[in-house]
Amino acid sequence: MRKSVQLLVLLLLLTESSFAQQQTEYPNDYLSPAFHAGRRAAFREKMAPNTVGVFFAAQVRNRTNDVDFQYSQNKNFFYFTGFDEPNALLLIFKEPQTILGKPTSEFLFVQPRDPLKELWTGKILGAERAPQMLGIENVFTHSQFDGNTISISKFDSVYSLYKNEEILAKTKRVVDPLSKMAGVVDSLITASGIKISNSTGMLMRTLRHSKSPEEIKMIQKAVNISCEGHNEVMKAVKPGMTEYQAQAIMEYSFKKNGSEYPGYPCINGSADNSCILHYETNQRLMQAGELLLSDCAAEYHGYTADVTRTIPVNGKFSPEQKIIYELVLEAADSAIAECRQGIPFRQPHNVAARVIARGLIKLGIIKDETEVRKYFPHGTSHHLGLDVHDWGLQTLDEGVVLTVEPGIYIPSGSNCDKKWWSIGVRIEDDILITKDGRKNLSDASPRTVAEIEKMMKGKSRFD
């Protein structure tokens, strides 16, 4: 038995070299320091005269007792630095300033090197290596930041979002360096009477709204990895499997292809669970005649995809499932056709909702269009990028990446014919707005009934 398991593992490793062969010892396709420097420069250009931007790294989050969650960086901080360590602070000035004897317009405070800590959790850049690796000239350790480091009162306003980031939470067991620095900033702002600019959020939305070619490349990689995961699930799923086994196949495929994390908790809902929008338990045993809704996507180097496919567990849609699926697909295709430069962000949703409402009326499931939210209760689109629900504006422009994800969810007990019960369908694709129209970044995973049923006949490496 042990030999057969070892052979299976060896076989999988040998067959899954498409990504590994392209890599050096470590991935070499991260965003460059020049990209992040360009984002800092773009922010500085939009700042009002005589102002300062204050951006903190994310907190280390405790999971239970002495176990922390795997660290995930604050996305705005990452956008400006590419730095993935905690206990850090970035200052961006409109005009050059002198701090600790160093004149420039940007300063970074980081955690110091610590051989004992590095023995347990890995290398720390420290103030010695960070300038070279991050392209930020003036880097200090966080112990050098105190009430005398910066005079807040000399500025007209401060750009920051730290008030919303829980850095100053009072329930911490130990006050960490990040909270200490935030406390210093908070005390200086309070004492000086300077206001935090209420345009900080809008400024960040404006910057992150349209993606650069470098960012689009990252998103496309995350989407490609996600699509391969969905295709693997289509080939592997069969009656008698559990939802968590489908999740395991999906996440195995993500990790195998270089994804650091799923972009969000994987949703794998069968039967009535397919009608729960953010179902994450994934414990049910799946049976023939049911649908499996998989809303799962990979994150790659900080950027995430967001892809959903709905498939029949036994490989064949029932007549009722096919009718609902093709109605959702019609809504998705109609919404995608609306995605182009200059249109309001909500227009694809309005089109999708109208298609679904008219289709449900025709099927006798609802009586008029005002009832559509009963079975399609969410929006069709959101921005996509560093966050799965990314920051952006309310107009579609070139470089915007958005989701198109209409759905119909008819749980058991709904006020309609029982033949429609337990049918939950969502189809979600990631759409890039281009100069001439749009591109479906996620079309590598089947979307039509015929394509899905054909894919599900394919041989799975997990058979």
* 3-state DSSP of 66-102: CEECCCCCCHHHHHHHCCCCCCCEEEEEEEEEEECCE
pLDDT at 166: 86
Sheet holding 51-56, edge to edge: 139-141, 102-110, 89-99, 51-56, 157-160, 195-196
Does the annotation mark 278 as catalytic?
yes
The domain that holds 189 is classified in CATH as 3.40.350.10
pLDDT of residue 175: 83
Q: What residues pair up with 261 in beta bridges, in sequence order?
A: 299
Q: Is 79 a known active-site residue?
A: no
CA distance 383 to 405: 12
Catalytic one among 338, 409, 429, 438?
409
Among 206, 230, 258, the domain boundary falls at 206
Would you call 306 a catalytic residue per the annotation? Answer: yes
pLDDT at 458: 95
- Report residue 431: phi and psi, to 5°: -115, 130
Establish whether 383 is a catalytic residue.
no
Q: Could you say which of 180, 206, 232 is where a domain stops? A: 206
Helix (H, G, I), strand (E, B) or coil at 64: strand
On whether residue 3 sits in a domain, the answer given is no
- Residue 163 shares a structural domain with residue 106: yes
397 belongs to the catalytic site: no
Residue 25 domain flag: no
Q: Is there a single domain that holds both residue 151 and residue 229? A: no
As a whole number of angstroms, the longest Cα–Cα distance in the chain is 76
Is residue 384 within 8 A of residue 405, CB to CB? The reply is no
Task: Please indicate whether residue 325 is annotated as part of the active site.
Answer: no
Question: Which entry of 25, 45, 66, 463 is annotated as an active-site residue?
Answer: 66
Q: Let me know whether 291 and 379 are in one domain.
A: yes
Q: Are residues 290 and 188 in the same domain?
A: no
Question: Is residue 196 domain-shared with residue 291, that is, in the same domain?
Answer: no
Residue 314 shares a structural domain with residue 178: no
DSSP for 175-197, please give it: --HHHHHHHHHHHHHHHHTPEEP
* pLDDT score for 270: 98
Is residue 318 located within the same domain as residue 363? yes
Q: Is 405 a catalytic residue?
A: yes
Last residue of a domain, one of 170, 186, 206: 206
* Number of domains within the chain: 2
* Catalytic hit among 340, 382, 447, 461: 382
Write down the catalytic residue from 44, 358, 378, 447.
378
User: How far apart, in whole angstroms, are the C-alpha atoms of residue 341 and residue 343?
Assistant: 6
233 with 348, same domain: the answer is yes
Q: What's the confidence (pLDDT) of residue 12?
A: 39
Ranges of residues in the chain whose predicted pLDDT is under 70: 1-23, 171
Query: Does residue 198 fall inside a structural domain?
Result: yes
Tell me what pLDDT residue 174 has.
Answer: 75
* Whole-angstrom distance, CA of residue 318 vs CA of residue 166: 49
Residues 6+ apart with CB under 8 A from 219: 211, 303, 304, 305, 384, 385, 401, 430, 432, 441
Phi, psi angle pair for 268, to nearest 5° = -135, 90
Q: What is the pLDDT of residue 435?
A: 96
| Predicted local confidence at residue 7, as pLDDT | 39
Candidates 295, 299, 333, 390; catalytic one = 295
Rg (CA), the chain: 25
pLDDT of residue 169: 76
Query: What range does the domain containing 62 cover?
Result: 33-206
Specify the pTM. Answer: 0.93
Domain membership flag for residue 18: no
223 lies in the same domain as 359: yes
Shared domain for 176 and 253, answered yes or no, is: no
Are 172 and 86 in a shared domain?
Answer: yes
The token duo for 321 is 């499932």
CA distances to 14, 88, 400 from 111, rounded to whole Å, are 40, 7, 35
| CA dist., res. 277 & res. 283, Å (int) | 16
Domain-embedded: residue 105: yes
Residues 428 and 299 in one domain: yes
- Note if 389 is an active site residue: yes
